[in-house]
Structures are given as structure tokens and as C-alpha cells.
Structure 1
Amino acid sequence: MTVPTATGHLSPWRSILQQAWPILITSWAATVFAAMDTAMVGHTSAADLQAMALGASIYITVFIGLMGVVHALIPIIAQHFGAGRLTEAGRAWGQGIWLALGLSALGASTMLFPKLWLSLSGNVEPEVRRLVAGYLLALAGALPAALVFRTLYATATAISHTREIMFINLSSVGFKLVFNLWFIFGGLGVPALGAVGAGVATLLTNWIMLGAGLWMVRSRAAFKALSLRLGRPNLAAQKELLRLGLPMGGSYLVEICAFSFMTLLVARDGLYASGAQQILANLIALCYMIPMSLSLSSASQVAQAVGARDASRARHTGLQGIGLVILGATLTGVFLLLASGWIVRAYTNEREVAFLALALLHIAPIVHFCDAMHCTAAYLLRAYKVATVPFVLQIAALGGLGLVGGWWLAYGPGTGQLAPLALWIMPGAPVGAATMWMMSAAGLAVAALLLFTWYARVLRRPL
């Protein structure tokens, strides 16, 4: 028995685009959550804002890593779906639920001990520590809903039905706004909770999203055909999920930690440099969602072809996806060059920060292109259930060359060695920050080259 996907009769590039744009909207909707919390909590107190910033950084680190493990469902379900094994696809989702619940217990338990996390932040005021604890307690309750919802996201992506997830995410923004106003500022018998209120709003919104997602899979024909059910935990299935998911989660962590630690290092260049660094880092993250959505869409369709034992279609779809990512990254790079002044003005009115941000933005198109290439190669390898080798290569390229190499040449024993090149590419930029971004681009470029080399090797293997 087979079920046609929403993109089954389209050419590869059309089907990739049709599946990718809802993924992109979904990703951008998620960024609204963080922006909304910052904007609203920023109107309460400095202690609340600092507590939310610290708590959110802890939660994001935990969630992103665990989400990467759950996303092992995408290639697994996509291959079952492509092969017409719909019952097996439904069983895999049920095993993903058990995995998500187990990971939730692990992640929530680490968030219940904020003192351990805050020991990395030096002297934090007692009031801020109290608020961080309350904020993380609420998010610990939100984590199970968030990770179980990710199993639905993974299933929808695997079978090329992403619009329903997009609509749920867009609707959740409205719920989040209402709950934020209610719990952050108080009302209807609820006291103003500040940062803790933002956590409570996230908790309620995540559970509503999960409820909507479960309704979706019970009412839509494409999902009903999979006979999704929980079943009992299966050791072999859990081992398969962890074998693929642990290196995937590790890859997600390597990527996010590389940028997080770079931000901490650039703080040595001063307040204005930190502000400029934050602008560029945020911009790169927003732009990344374009190649990410194209790569994820391509990878799910490649995995379907792999499941169907159609090597030619898998190869052709992968190449089409790479072409679309190259085109998208090129157009994005041109936009970043032409609109740099407008972009910086949208971020800040601080003259010194704007000057440094404009200088750093010269390297944004290069970083984005290298990031896009690294992204699509990693996702295509995952479509073939190859995750461990990319993880090792990413540690070496992003962590070793990009981060450690950047520190060595920017603030370590090799300080100043790349200064002439840094000032040529980014005139007026802080040498340390400029060096870090150059080495980050180099790390991403090397990672992309290594991953594509391995991808070429995988393509030569019989399915």
C-alpha cells in the first residue's frame, strides 16, 4: 500500500520548494517566540531580563541537542514511507514518542539544577538566580510537549506534508502573545510574574501545540494512512534511533556551541564589538533557515527514494537540492551586500555599534554561503542514515579549525597574525572579532568540503 505525497507528481526542484517554504515559515515563526519574550520581559525589570536571557540560553542548549536526537525519525520514517512500509513508519513514530519522553526526563532533570549552569556565569545576583530557577521550572514542564511535538514535525517532514505543522506554529504565536501579556504583566487574578511568566506562557503554548498536532494526525488522511500508534518500547528500535540520533544531536550542539562560544570570546573586544557581533550572529542565524529548509526538504525526499531503492532518483533529487541551496545562498549573499545599511539600521541606533556591525557584515555573504553548503551536505548524508562521520568531521572543522583556531589567532598565542587580511576584508572591524569570523568561515568551508567528499563516496554505494 502506498500513499502519494503532496509533491509526488512534480519535478524534484518544484517538490523541494513546495515542501521547503512551510518549513521556512515554521522556523521563522519559532524565532518570533524568542523576540517576543525579549521585547516584553524587557519592559519589566533588568533582573527579569537577565534571568530570561540566562534561562533561555540553558533551555536552548538542552532543547536543541535533544531535538537533534528526535529528528533521527525523519530519515527513518521517510525511508519506510518511500518503500511503502506505512505500518512500519507508524511504528517508528510510536518509538519516537518513547524516545522523546525519555529525553524529556533527562533534559528536565538537568534544568532543575540551575546552580550548576549558573556556576559558569560568575557572580549572579540572588534575585536573578531565583528568577532563573522559576523560569527553568516552567520550561522543564514545557520540554515533554516540545519534544513529542517534534516527533509530529519529523513525521510530517518525512512524508512531505509540512503545511499543517506550519499552520500550528503560526497559530501558536497568537497564543504565546496572549499568554505572555497575561503572565508577564499579570491580570485576571494572576500576579505579574516577569521572566517566570514568559516560561509559563511557553509551557501552556507548547502543550496547546501538541494537542493541535495530535488532532492533526488523527484527522488528516496522509497521517491516518500510517496507522500511527504508541505501542510498547522496542529495544531494537530504540537502538536504531539512538545510533542515528545521538550523532545528529551532537552535530546540532557543535553548531550552536561554536557560535555561542565565539560570542563569549568577542566580548573581549568591548561593549560595542559585542553588540555588533550579536547583530551579525543573529542575521546569520536568520539567513541559515533558508538553506536549512531547502536541505531538510531535499533530504526527506532523498530518503524516500532511498527507501524505494531508487538510487537514480535519490541522486538526482540530491543534486537538485544542492543547486537550489547554491542559488538561494547566492541571492541571500547579494541581498546582504546591497541592504547592509538598512539591515544595521533595523537592528540598532547606536552609532558605534552600527559602525562596527557594518564592517563585520562584509564577511556575512561568505559565512552564509559556506554555512549553506555545510548544511545541505550534512542533511543529505542523514538521508542515507549516515550521521556519525558528519559529527566527527564537524567537531574537527567547526570546533577545531573554526573555534579553537579562531581563538588561537584572535586572542591566543597567534594574536594578530591574520590582522592584515582581517582589515582588508572587513576594514574598521575589531581585529579579534573579524579573525573569529574568518576562521568560522574557514571551518564551515572545510566542513562542507569534507562532507561533500563523503557524500560522493556514499553515492557510489549500492542501496
Structure 2
Amino acid sequence: MTDTGLAPPSSWGATLRRILQQGWPVLVGQWASMAFGVLDTAMTGHASPVALAAMALAVSIYVTVFIGLTGVLHALIPIAAQHFGGRRLAEIGRAWGQAVWLSLGLSVVGGLAMLFPDTWLAMSGNVDPAVRDQVRGYLAMLIVALPAALVFRTVYALNTAVSRPKVVMMINIAGIGFKALFNWLFIYGKFGLPALGAVGAGLSTALVFWISVGLSVLVLRRDPFYRQFGLRIGRPDRKTLGELLRLGLPMGGSYLIEVTSFTFMALLVAREGIYATGGHQIMANLVALCFMMPLALGVSTGALTAQAIGSGDPLRARRTGSAGLMVGTAGALLTIAVVILARGPIVQAYTSDAEVGVVALGLLGMLAFFHLFDSLQCMTSYLLRAYKMAVGPMLIQAGALWGIGLLGGWWLAFGPGAGALGGLVAVLMPGAPTGAGTMWLMATFSMAVSSLMLQYVYWRVAARRQAGPALAQSRT
């Protein structure tokens, strides 16, 4: 008998257990992946303020490119999960092979986007030449890493769709050790190597990504579980690539909208100097680290929901979504409590510079509100993608995050309305620069608008899909 996974959950309790069973390895794997950024930020922060500022700017550019391309590839998750729920196993292997082709094509697009960092840095005003040089070198290293990084995301998407998240988790955990070692060697210049600062962090990332993709291919070839899918790359297939792109392009657009909100925020905040940039980078890194829990729950809940849809069980799909949202909200509140109570030691772990630390502590005053709405938006977005809905959510996020958060933030922070929210920033984020604080305030408001609108759309879609079979039955 073919091993196609665990039996579908038949109750609320079983659904919650399945979400947590699939969610915790995704969470650990995401934390392990995020540890790369934490290591880079912390280790360059202790190297010099110049290296930390270069990291903040270079990572903003790289993450914009990488996350947008990753969003396109993550279309494989709902597509393969629906095939898995419907037991169309050969289609999973075909879809994965085409996703590999897509990842290679996207790596060319991403590499070209990172090849000219001065275009991105034009938003940041007069960037110190030393910082600019390190940004350029860091991105050059990551162009080399990009093909491996994107192929690895297809392995991540495949394993998420078929409820095997522990595979990627273990590879990511192994990657932490390699990353810490390579960072130590290349950032600080150990054993006679030159001290490369931020450029060394980029070199270590490139090495770890290629090691990770090598390990993942080895697992796919050796583990008997994957034989049932007939995994193959084959020739590019227009139909399958078209399906991936129809769902993936708006998904990538949503990812890009969200990440560019932070990218351009970092580039704008750079106008307030190195210390504001460093404090903002610590805040952004913590926000990203906290985001891993709702991301993991959103990925696992979305995959299980898509499996239910693929098996023709809309009631189970809606129950899975409800359970995931409940767990995600509880997890967000727990995360907020931990960060607030430990904010002092957390900031000290990131930097030994007192001025950077003051800025970071001030900005953390907004983290609780931001994270709560960010969690809700993330969970709801993945649930809508399970129903293969991506265009509507992308438009909602564009209007809220770009229109209210980014444009409105620029207007009130650095544009004609600069300083209008200075009093509110001083109350909510004491010690934070007015510009950076205003940007985070508007980003939080925009996230609230986006999450509430996505919730409205999701519940309408879930109710309509559940009512569909009942209505059809009543007419027979």
C-alpha cells in the first residue's frame, strides 16, 4: 500500500493536533532559517556600526528580491496539497519538477535585480562610501547563492504540501552550525583570512545555501517516501508552468508588497543616520523573528486546508481554518508577552552600541500592536491561497501596506507632513527618532486595515464553499 500520509482529522481536537504536529517543525525550520539573519545582524553589529548599517541596507534589498521570488514558488504548496488530498500523486511529481525550472528562471531575474545596488540606495540619500562598498559586496555573494536558495524553496514547498516538514527543519538546523562557523571565519577574519564584515556574511550565506540544496536532493533521492510521487524535472511544460504562474505571480506580488513596505522603510530611515538605521534593523529583525510563529501556523494550516479542499471536504477545510486562526492568535499574544518582558536583554544581544540600543528600545514600543495584526494577516493570506485565491488579497495588501503604510508613512515622516505625529511617537516610542517612529506607526495602522479586510474576504469564501455542496444536494 502506498504511503500517502496520515488519516484526515475528523474533529476539532484532531484538527488542532494536526495543525500543531505539522506546524512545530515548520516553526523550528523557520527559526533556524531566521537564525541566519540574526547571526548576521548580531555578528556584524559587534564588528562595527558601518558593518551593521551595511547589513541593514543590503538585507533590505536582498529580502525584497528573494521573498518576492519565493512567493511565486510557494504556489506549489496549495497546488501540490490539493493533489495530495485528492490522491493525484503523479501530478505532485510533475508540478515539483516544473517548479524547479521556474526557480532557475527566477534566479536569473533576481540576480539582475541585485546587480545594481546603487539604484536601490538612491532612496537613502548620501550613504557613507564604506557602507556602500560593503552593500555591493554582500549582494554580489548572494547572487551566487540565489539559484540554490530558490531550488531549496521548491523542496520546502513540496514537503509542506505533503505533510513532511521535518525534512526541511533538519536541513535548516544543520545550516545554523555551518552559518555560525562561516560567519566567524569571514566576518572577523580568522585563521589569516581577511575581515570582510558584511561581505563575509554574504559569502557564508552562499556556502550554506549550496550545502542545503545538496542535502535536500540527497534526501529526495534516498527516502522511499518520495518514490510514490515519481519526482522528475523533465522538460518545461507550458500547462503546468502556467498554473504555477497564474497563482504564483499574485502570491509573489503579495509577498513583494509586504516586504517592500519594510525595504523602503529601511531605505528611508537611513536618512536619519547610522544609529537610526541600526536601531530600525534590530526592530525589523525582531519583527521578522516573531513572524515565524504565525508563518509556520499559516503554512501548515493552509496546506491542511488545501488537502481538505482537494479531497472534496469543504466542512473540514473551514474547520481547519478556524482552528488555525485560534491557535495563531494565542501564539501571537504569547510572543508579544515574551518580547516585552525580555526587551532589554534582547537588544543588548544585538548590539553593544548604546545609541543604537536606545533607538531599538524606543521602536519596540510598537511591536505588540504590529505583531498582532501581522499574525492575523499572515494566517488569513495562507488560508485564502489554499482556496487558490491570490489576486484579491494582493490588491488589498497593495492599497493598505503601500498606500497607507509606505506612502502615508513617508508623507508624515519625511514628506510635507513631517513631524505631524511626533508627539504620538514620543508617547508610544520614547527614544525613537521621529521619522523611524512615524514609519512604524503607519505600518502598524496599515497592517490592521489589511488584516481586517482579508478576514472579511476569507469568511465569505469559506462559507460560500461550504454552502456549495449542500445547495447542490438540496437541488437534486
Report the CA distance shift for 1:168/1:429 in structure 2 as closer, same or farther (over 3 A): closer
Q: Residue 378 of structure 2 corresponds to which residue in structure 1?
A: 375
Task: State the number of aligned residues.
Answer: 463
- Displacement, 1:335? 2.6
Report the CA distance shift for 1:248/1:172 in structure 2 as closer, same or farther (over 3 A): same
1:404 aligned to 2:407?
yes
- Displacement, 1:271? 5.5
Q: Residue 369 of structure 2 corresponds to which residue in structure 1?
A: 366
Task: Name the CA distance, whole Å, in 1 between partners of 2:138 and 2:348.
Answer: 32
1:201 aligned to 2:201?
no
Q: Please show how residues 226-375 of structure 1 align to structure 2 within 5 Å.
A: 226-267=229-270, 272-348=275-351, 350-351=353-354, 353-375=356-378
Q: Residue 453 of structure 2 corresponds to which residue in structure 1?
A: 450
For 1:19, which of 1, 11, 22 is the aligned residue? 22
For 1:385, which of 351, 365, 388 is the aligned residue? 388
User: Structure 2 regions of 5+ residues with no counterpart?
Assistant: 470-476
Task: Name the CA distance, whole Å, in 1 between partners of 2:272 and 2:221.
Answer: 54
Report the CA distance shift for 1:267/1:49 in structure 2 as closer, same or farther (over 3 A): closer
Deviates more, 1:420-429 or 1:209-218: 420-429
Report the CA distance shift for 1:113/1:439 in structure 2 as closer, same or farther (over 3 A): closer
For 1:140, which of 140, 143, 147 is the aligned residue? 143
Q: Residue type of the partner of 1:95? A: Q
Report the CA distance shift for 1:275/1:189 in structure 2 as closer, same or farther (over 3 A): closer
Task: Name the CA distance, whole Å, in 1 between partners of 2:255 and 2:135.
Answer: 24
- Displacement, 1:117? 4.3
Q: Residue 106 of structure 1 corresponds to which residue in structure 2?
A: 109
Deviations 1:353-379 (A, max 9, x none): 545544433332111101111111111
Deviations 1:51-77 (A, max 9, x none): 655544433222111111111111110
Larger relative contact order (CA 8 Å, sep ≥ 6) = 2
TM-score using structure 1 length: 0.89
User: Structure 1 regions of 5+ residues with no counterpart?
Assistant: none
For 1:221, which of 208, 221, 224 is the aligned residue? 224
Q: Residue 80 of structure 2 corresponds to which residue in structure 1?
A: 77
Report if the CA contact (8 A) 2:396-2:450 is conserved.
Answer: yes
- Displacement, 1:201? 3.0
- Displacement, 1:399? 0.9
Task: Name the CA distance, whole Å, in 2 between partners of 1:271 and 1:179.
Answer: 26
Task: Name the CA distance, whole Å, in 1 between partners of 2:440 and 2:265.
Answer: 9
Deviates more, 1:197-206 or 1:118-127: 118-127
Q: Residue type of the partner of 1:402? A: G
Q: Residue 5 of structure 1 corresponds to which residue in structure 2?
A: 5
TM-score using structure 2 length: 0.87
Report if the CA contact (8 A) 1:176-1:205 is conserved.
Answer: yes
Deviates more, 1:279-288 or 1:411-420: 411-420
Task: Name the CA distance, whole Å, in 1 between partners of 2:274 and 2:129.
Answer: 25
Report the CA distance shift for 1:205/1:335 in structure 2 as closer, same or farther (over 3 A): closer
Q: Residue 167 of structure 2 corresponds to which residue in structure 1?
A: 164
Task: Name the CA distance, whole Å, in 1 between partners of 2:6 and 2:225.
Answer: 9
Q: Residue type of the partner of 1:253? A: L
Q: Residue type of the partner of 2:249? A: L
Q: Residue 472 of structure 2 corresponds to which residue in structure 1?
A: none
Deviates more, 1:44-53 or 1:137-146: 44-53
Report the CA distance shift for 1:357/1:50 in structure 2 as closer, same or farther (over 3 A): closer
Report if the CA contact (8 A) 2:67-2:252 is conserved.
Answer: yes
Report the CA distance shift for 1:217/1:257 in structure 2 as closer, same or farther (over 3 A): same
- Displacement, 1:135? 4.0
Q: Residue 60 of structure 1 corresponds to which residue in structure 2?
A: 63
Deviations 1:225-279 (A, max 9, x none): 2111112111111111111111111111211111232234445556655444333
Q: Residue 176 of structure 1 corresponds to which residue in structure 2?
A: 179
- Displacement, 1:131? 5.6
Task: Name the CA distance, whole Å, in 1 between partners of 2:361 and 2:46.
Answer: 28
Q: Residue 474 of structure 2 corresponds to which residue in structure 1?
A: none
Identity %: 53
- The SS at the match of 2:236 is coil
Report if the CA contact (8 A) 1:6-1:161 is conserved.
Answer: no
Deviations 1:134-184 (A, max 9, x none): 543432222111111110000001111111111111112222334445555
1:32 aligned to 2:22?
no
Q: Residue type of the partner of 1:5? A: G
Report the CA distance shift for 1:117/1:182 in structure 2 as closer, same or farther (over 3 A): same
Report if the CA contact (8 A) 1:7-1:160 is conserved.
Answer: no
Q: Residue 473 of structure 2 corresponds to which residue in structure 1?
A: none
Task: Name the CA distance, whole Å, in 2 between partners of 1:126 and 1:357.
Answer: 24
Deviations 1:379-407 (A, max 9, x none): 11111111111111001011111222223
1:413 aligned to 2:416?
yes
- The SS at the match of 1:225 is helix
Task: Name the CA distance, whole Å, in 2 between partners of 1:56 and 1:280.
Answer: 14
- Displacement, 1:119? 4.8
Task: Name the CA distance, whole Å, in 1 between partners of 2:425 and 2:218.
Answer: 53
Task: Name the CA distance, whole Å, in 2 between partners of 1:205 and 1:281.
Answer: 23
Report if the CA contact (8 A) 2:50-2:274 is conserved.
Answer: no
Task: Name the CA distance, whole Å, in 2 between partners of 1:142 and 1:382.
Answer: 28
Report the CA distance shift for 1:176/1:435 in structure 2 as closer, same or farther (over 3 A): closer
RMSD, matched Cα? 3.1
Report the CA distance shift for 1:348/1:7 in structure 2 as closer, same or farther (over 3 A): farther
Task: Name the CA distance, whole Å, in 2 between partners of 1:169 and 1:98.
Answer: 23
- Displacement, 1:109? 3.0
- The SS at the match of 2:402 is helix
